[in-house]
Structure 1
Amino acid sequence: MTSLPLRIAILECDTPMDSVRERAGGYGSIFSRLLRAGADSLKYPGLSSTEGMQLSSFDVVTKQEYPKLEDVDGILISGSKHNSFDNDPWILKLVEFTKEVLGQERVRVVGVCFGHQIVGRAMRAKVVRSEKGWEISVMAIDLTKKGQEIFGQPSLALHQMHRDIIYECPPEVERLAYTDKCAVHGMYVPRRLITVQGHPEFTGDIMKDILVARHKQGLFDDALFEDALGRFDEDHDGVVTATAFLKFLLEE
């Protein structure tokens, strides 16, 4: 797939908290900025932050709207505060749509956090609440040999905000990354799918807002919160990940 413009539909699986939305917009806007930065980094002929991409957004939660597959080249499934293993009608509809996309050969799938887990669920992988607890803020992630090849470096640092995991990699995919708490931090099938458990789209400001809000809600104890707060503004590989996403969508 090398023809431009590259048409990417962003499936918004959540609405950011008010402070994030006021500053950065919805997840469609947040991912659009990331993908444009990735396009500039990739330096692919005819593709940049200002040309060669058509980005669209779809609210799959309240409006339950989806793109027509003939109108897009790839879909990106966003993160969410919701549980990917729940059976709310909109989640079941999203799983079925993901199965439909994976079942054809042209449109490709990118999954991020909740979206990563939805792809796993669509492929009949076990998605569960981890007994090892949360992974939050900027963290180093070990890459497999294939992961190192795809991301072009020995390890990856990404924002994390999850305690749900894909328990084990579906047999038909290649695992890209892992940590002690999460064995499947990324998945890959050439010309079909690429996923990451982390949040390449997050900035330090977004992460800090989420950390403070969830600490106030009692989701994070003081020790976990203070540890994460010490890492929220560290360098991370969001643009590196976006560049890998675009290379995947363009590869022949």
Structure 2
Amino acid sequence: MKLGILETGAPPEKLREQFGDYPSMFASLLGETVQVTAYDVTRGALPKSAGEQQAWLVTGSAAGVYDPLPWIGPMMEFLREAKGQAPMVGICFGHQAMAQAFGGQVVKSPKGWAIGLNRYDVAEPEPWMDQAPTIAIPASHQDQVVRLPPGARVSLASGFTPYAGLSYDDGRSISFQGHPEFDPAYAAALIQARRGKTYDDETADAGLESLSRPNDRQRVGDWILKFLLQAG
């Protein structure tokens, strides 16, 4: 499968040298059957049409969907044009961008940051899932979807993030607030890089401790791959 990745952000430079960029993380997660082509939308590299690749994935970003950045509006317009035309997956910022583009609402949550390993309940099983009742994957976000777009169903939920996974009635669009592509070592390094700046020591320590627990990164990666193949 040919997967176009809308690259909406990048790891900090020092971490990128060690862990790679987001497209390479997704390539590793999804495996050799997926051929990845990256589009750096922050530099205006948008696809010409939804048919340019067989499927699309929108990455995480340090930006907020409400930020007045020149690349966000055109990217949102592409998401609206591509919806239903090709399988689409959103991760973290991508999850939020799809929700906002399709008529929902995203805000900077007063709950604060979710970092480290976060656990989510399967609210509504989908055909591309297995029988797991809960999953745990790394997360790194303060923004949250607070109003669902029309035609969206909640697939994953937690007390902290009620809309942690969304599936759309077009049958070709899904998204997740968490980061299945984050290796725990990268998630830990990102927390350390932001310690004392983005979050305090207590929050950082709790996030680091959680990352030592078993995770479901590959399970969710398998879900995404199965969805892409089924929806394609």
TM-score class normalised by the smaller sequence: over 0.9
* 1:184 aligned onto 2:179: no
> What does residue 13 of structure 1 align with?
8
Shift of 1:66: 2.5
CA distance in 1, matches of 2:167, 2:65: 19
Shift of 1:145: 2.8
How many residues were matched structurally? 230
Q: What is the 5 A alignment of 1:57-206?
A: 57-66=38-47, 68-102=49-83, 105-146=84-125, 150-189=129-168, 191-206=171-186
Q: 2:36 pairs with 52, 55, 63, which one? A: 55
> What does residue 41 of structure 1 align with?
none
Shift of 1:71: 2.6
Q: 1:164 to 1:204 in 2, by over 3 A?
A: same
Relative to structure 2, which stretch is displaced further, 59-68 or 14-23? Answer: 59-68
**Matching residue's letter, 1:27:** Y
TM, length-normalised to structure 1: 0.85
Q: 1:183 to 1:147 in 2, by over 3 A?
A: farther
> What does residue 45 of structure 1 align with?
none
Shift of 1:164: 0.4
Secondary structure of residue in 2 paired with 1:157 = strand
CA distance in 2, matches of 1:82, 1:65: 17
Work out whether residues 8 and 56 of structure 1, in 8 Å CA contact, stay in contact via their aligned partners in 2: yes
Shift of 1:70: 2.3
Query: Any unmatched runs of 5+ in structure 1?
Result: 1-5, 37-48
Shift of 1:131: 1.2
* 1:245 aligned onto 2:224: yes
Secondary structure of residue in 1 paired with 2:110 = coil
Shift of 1:170: 2.1
CA distance in 2, matches of 1:64, 1:33: 23
Shift of 1:11: 1.1
CA distance in 2, matches of 1:131, 1:207: 23
Work out whether residues 8 and 60 of structure 2, in 8 Å CA contact, stay in contact via their aligned partners in 1: yes
**Matching residue's letter, 1:78:** T
Shift of 1:148: 9.2
Shift of 1:62: 2.1
Relative to structure 2, which stretch is displaced further, 140-149 or 170-179? Answer: 140-149
CA distance in 2, matches of 1:247, 1:197: 18
Query: Any unmatched runs of 5+ in structure 2?
Result: none
**Matching residue's letter, 2:5:** I
CA distance in 2, matches of 1:109, 1:116: 10
Secondary structure of residue in 1 paired with 2:94 = helix
Work out whether residues 98 and 119 of structure 1, in 8 Å CA contact, stay in contact via their aligned partners in 2: yes
Question: Runs ≥4 in structure 1, deviation > 3 angstroms?
Answer: none
**Matching residue's letter, 1:35:** L
Secondary structure of residue in 2 paired with 1:10 = strand
Secondary structure of residue in 2 paired with 1:212 = helix
Relative to structure 2, which stretch is displaced further, 148-157 or 91-100? Answer: 148-157
